[in-house]
Structure 1
């Protein structure tokens, strides 16, 4: 006896709710953590507002080499790797240190006074956001990016794409009207109300979730990242040289000449490319970075996707190459700012807010999907129960007179 073959709609429906009961809850967790990370910079700046401001008065900022040396002297063996400098005279310096050569762990960052190099204190919430980031990327499972956590989150990201495809197919109406697609019917009680809310909200947010899922896969599957890089920029992202096109390899940096070269590079930057810079991220030369790299944003611009870049020789401080975001093809800009696309900030502040709200909605989809599953199971059990026999009143047959009995 052959088993009946279920219809394609039934198969997709079962796949949809089966993934919802498994991957849906992981996606809900990733949505909450992702929404927090969307405004990490704003939250961090708010809680550290007492350390991000200094008194300028008539003081003159230290040269980068002197500033890094004074911070190193207070850092207990840590070495300054990145200085984030602002043209605001009352802004402090954000300092990042080089990774530990043995553990590859990065020491906590801190704020410093640009005028005397005094350490103002560590960055509050940096460790908390580091935990949130690890929870978002690999669920805090041991092994980090090389453990099972990355495999699970990558599979759940693929499940999000399956959710979008199957959900769109399952709600495809026979009659197409904008009210059917975009307006929820909340006046209907029970399962229809929950289904309408679940389906219509998913339709509204489908483009955002598709962008989030496709960009998220670039961290889970290197081959997918290479394919995206080839499609958008023509070259694979993985394995590309770290130095910019047209630049030459900088020679090893002698310890004695690193400081003056850094100052000469900074002076050349402020006199040339950086005369209109509002924020500059200065990467000092070291074992991993033999060139002096300065990424900068023009005044009044805070979108990281608009960063420009200049590189200088680590031995002499002479310019090597420059690159401007406005001159970079759109495909290459997307590849180089895939995180900003993932967060929605690549498209502007309004889209960043929409992406954050969409991430916060993922627990809502998990909750409404679970409610629909429970209500459907209850309805199925009620239909499966046999109907109890209805008792009927017994009627005694009317007695017939016996013929001749009275005889």
Structure 2
């Protein structure tokens, strides 16, 4: 019975690996390249972010003035968020879209581009290939569909691979070739050993990476996370922003307060903070039209848990009154679970050790793709020596 099930699973496992192996290899390679993206950029850009301390007593420019300097220096760019840090020698960062941004000297208003442009360009290409196979524009949904399907196939390969690996007898002699690398092997024996050992040790990591990837790729699976938690799934994909915040209607003729006044309020919400980010409206005129929307600050504190969490602070733009403050623990269960799944996929949920484990999983996946292709090649196109050996055994 077990032999029959083994055969029924072996061929779908082999065919699925051949069909999706190349895409899985691309996703694994790019995933490995992106594993330490933030650490790479922070290290490469550290000097670019630094500013000289001015004379004692020199005040920082108001946040409104800094953003005005950015708009004047980069009229083609549209600031989308602004982030400040507590260190007096660190520049304020203004993002201008998904991948662009500038730094601003908080004392002089000088504006300059982000550094590490070479690294940013390479990592941007890696992300494009990891998520959309390098597709651009209208072709991205197709690229996402292919990567999502390949990720699902990889999950199937991981689960069926466990059954195919399972020893017939649990003896050390039968188990050892499947759980540890052996020296001196060549050809098919070496590939089989590498394939099984890599799959055995990295199976939990690969299941986590592929299962969380399914949640990211398919809205229906993402919605299931919220449904299981007894919550209504969000309209858009990904974690929802939370329930709407009601901003009291201001008296007629009232104007929003300067951003600096809102930042003053945000800085007071946590005793120690690592950075504060404010999401911006598209422009001044647009901001006036959307004046009844709360100003949303994301405040990260050092040593906070989970490591990826930030406290969301909603401030009335007319009075600077805090309307609501959402710590991670305050979020609904489905929202928290969805965020955990997002950052488990990259390993960032567990910090640097988690990123290392995720990178190791990507490296192992490359080994599995390579050895799987080699084993398939030898099965369908055996060498003359292998054919001769097979003939001798059948004759005996």
SS at match of 1:353: helix
| 1:7-406 to 2 correspondences below 5 Å | 7-57=4-54, 58=56, 59-97=58-96, 106=98, 108-123=100-115, 124=117, 125-143=119-137, 146-176=140-170, 179-180=175-176, 182-232=179-229, 234-239=231-236, 244-245=242-243, 247-249=245-247, 257-258=255-256, 260-271=257-268, 273-286=269-282, 287=286, 290-300=293-303, 305-328=308-331, 332-379=335-382, 383=387
- What CA RMSD, in Å, does the superposition of the two structures yield over aligned residues? 3.3
SS in 1 for 2:255: helix
Distance 1:7 1:243 in 2: 50
Find the aligned partners of 1:44 and 1:386 in 2 and give their Cα distance. Answer: 54
Max radius of gyration: which structure? 1
C-alpha spacing 1:14/1:85, structure 2 compared with 1 (3 Å): same
Distance 2:297 2:364 in 1: 38
From the superposition, tell whether residues 74 and 27 of structure 1 become closer, same or farther in structure 2 (CA, over 3 Å). Answer: same
TM-score, reference length from structure 2: 0.83
- TM-fit CA distance, 1:53: 0.9
SS in 2 for 1:135: helix
Q: What are the ranges of 5 or more consecutive residues in structure 1 without an aligned counterpart? A: 1-5, 100-105, 389-407
Higher relative contact order (CA 8 A, sep 6+): 2
Deviation at 1:67, TM superposition (A): 1.5
Deviation, 1:130, is: 2.5
Displacement of 1:107: 7.0
The answer to whether the Cα contact below 8 Å between 1:261 and 1:317 also exists between their aligned partners in 2 is no
User: 2:92, 2:103 within 8 Å by CA — same for their partners in 1?
Assistant: yes
Q: 1:46 to 1:239 in 2, by over 3 A?
A: closer
1:156: how far off?
A: 0.2
Query: Would you say how many aligned residue pairs link Structure 1 and Structure 2?
Result: 374
| SS across alignment from 2:166 | coil
Deviations 1:306-336 (A, max 9, x none): 2111111223322111011244466532313
- Greater alpha carbon shift after TM alignment, 139-148 vs 289-298: 139-148
* CA distance, structure 2, for counterparts of residue 308 and residue 84 of structure 1: 14
User: How far, CA to CA, are the matches of 1:88 and 1:302 in structure 2?
Assistant: 22
- 8 Å contact from structure 1 (residues 216, 342) kept in 2: yes
Give the structure with the higher percent helix. Answer: 2
Q: Is the 8 A contact 1:38 1:352 kept in 2?
A: yes
Cα 1:68/1:257, change in 2 over 3 Å: farther
Change over 3 Å in CA distance of 1:387–1:25 after alignment to 2: closer
Cα distance in 2, alignment partners of residues 142 and 280 from structure 1: 32
Residue 300 (structure 1) shift: 4.9
In structure 2, the gaps of 5 or more residues are none
Within 1, Cα distance between the matches of 2:342 and 2:308? 9
The CA distance in 2 between the partners of 1:87 and 1:376, in whole Å, is 61
